[in-house]
């Protein structure tokens, strides 16, 4: 895949006027976020146009079909873009706007844990972007009910599951791939543990197909949770409390990085 060619084509097709509009929407959104509070959920439309009005309508999707889409899209957009595309391309058909205006391909940058930095695995980031659009952010509280933790729930599941769990109908790589548990939502840790267990290097077809299958697994899990939420049956599998319990944002298994010597954060003065 030639990413540069892809963008050149897209840009020339889209034209400059629409492009400028998207930038304005983004700036307005940021301004309302920075001004504090969550008013962007209620009167955002006035500030930013249709795409700034949350949450967006959701129609239940077939998890298996979504996983297949995600698997194939990985080979075009990598992990994060592929998760977003697998869900939003279907909602573009079933719902239309504002999904049609969402720039799916722009999220190709989530590859390699964001521009190759191995931070969050793009499939987790993509899942959070999708659930955020459909339900709203975790910090919005009761307005979004407990569904707002679907993104966090996916990261917990990702960390604890021996991945990849999803095997595509017609995988590009036919050899059986080992599964590993990352104990982390991070790209670097997840890919690194898998490479150590499998012996395959980063550029191998096997590692690439492993990540495509992890992406498909996450898309499956995400849509499964969204469907349950739509039916009013979604259940959070664990409470998140690092800030409350430790005074710092984090994944919960501190020992995975700190060993038994976990530092304590400064506490607010009483
Ligand atoms: C993904 C790996 C990772 C995880 C998981 C993690 N940390 Fe850290 N943490 C680090 C790194 C790296 C630093 C930088 C300082 C260092 O080298 O220890 C750090 C720094 C800190 C600091 C700043 C003070 C200091 O000594 O550097 C605190 C406090 C801290 N971590 C607490 C926690 C707690 C509590 C948890 C679990 C709720 C946690 N961390 C989970 C990697 C991690």
**CA 151 to centroid of ligand 1, rounded, Å:** 22
Q: Give the Å distance between the CA of 7 and the centre of ligand 1.
A: 38
Counting ligand 1 atoms within 8 A of each CB, the residue from 188, 257, 259, 266 with the most, and so the one to mutate, is: 257
Q: Max CA-CA distance within the chain? A: 60
The pLDDT assigned to 174 comes to 96
Neighbours of 164 (CB within 10 A): 23
pLDDT given at position 44: 45
- Asked if the model's pLDDT at residue 152 lies above 80, the reply is yes
How far apart (Å, rounded) are the C-alpha atoms in residues 227 and 231? Answer: 6
**Mean pLDDT computed over 77-82:** 98
pLDDT at 235: 81
108 pLDDT band (50/70/90 cuts)? very high
146: confidence class by pLDDT, cuts 50, 70, 90 = low
How many degrees, rounded to 5, is the angle at CA 139 between CA 138 and CA 143?
80
Expressed in angstroms and rounded, the spacing between residue 198 Cα and the centre of ligand 1 is: 28
Nearest alpha carbon, ligand 1 atom 22? 263
Supply 160's token pair. 């604890």
- Ligand 1, CB within 6 Å, residue ranges: 184, 242, 246, 248, 250-254, 256-258, 262-265
In whole angstroms, how far apart are CA 131 and each of 38, 111, 221, 227?
Answer: 17, 19, 12, 11
Answer for the pair 59, 91: CB distance below 8 angstroms, yes or no. yes
Tell me, what's the pLDDT at 25?
39
Atom 25 (ligand 1) nearest CA:
263
Q: What angle do CA 83, 29, 9 make, to 5 degrees?
A: 50
């Amino acid at each position: 895949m030639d990413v540069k060619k892809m963008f050149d084509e897209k840009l020339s097709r889209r034209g400059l006027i629409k492009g400028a509009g998207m930038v304005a929407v983004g700036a307005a959104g940021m301004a309302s976020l920075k001004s504090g509070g969550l008013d962007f959920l209620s009167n955002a439309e006035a500030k930013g146009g249709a795409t700034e009005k949350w949450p967006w309508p959701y129609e239940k999707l077939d998890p298996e079909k979504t996983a297949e889409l995600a698997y194939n899209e990985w080979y075009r957009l990598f992990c994060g873009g592929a998760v977003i595309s697998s869900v939003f391309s279907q909602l573009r058909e079933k719902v239309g706007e504002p999904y049609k205006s969402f720039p799916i391909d722009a999220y190709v940058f989530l590859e390699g844990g964001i521009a190759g930095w191995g931070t969050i695995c793009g499939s987790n980031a993509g899942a959070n972007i999708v659930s955020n659009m459909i339900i709203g952010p975790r910090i919005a509280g009761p307005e979004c009910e407990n569904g707002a933790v679907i993104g966090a729930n996916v990261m917990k599941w990702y960390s604890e599951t021996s991945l990849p769990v999803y095997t595509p109908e017609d995988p590009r790589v036919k050899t059986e791939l080992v599964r590993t548990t990352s104990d982390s939502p991070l790209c670097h840790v997840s890919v690194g543990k898998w490479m150590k267990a499998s012996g395959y290097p980063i550029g191998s077809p096997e590692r690439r197909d492993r990540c495509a299958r992890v992406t498909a697994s996450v898309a499956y899990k995400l849509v499964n949770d969204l469907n349950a939420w739509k039916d009013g049956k979604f259940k959070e599998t664990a409470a998140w409390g690092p800030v409350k319990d430790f005074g710092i944002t984090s994944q919960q298994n501190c020992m995975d990085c700190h060993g038994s010597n976990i530092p304590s954060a400064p506490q607010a003065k009483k």
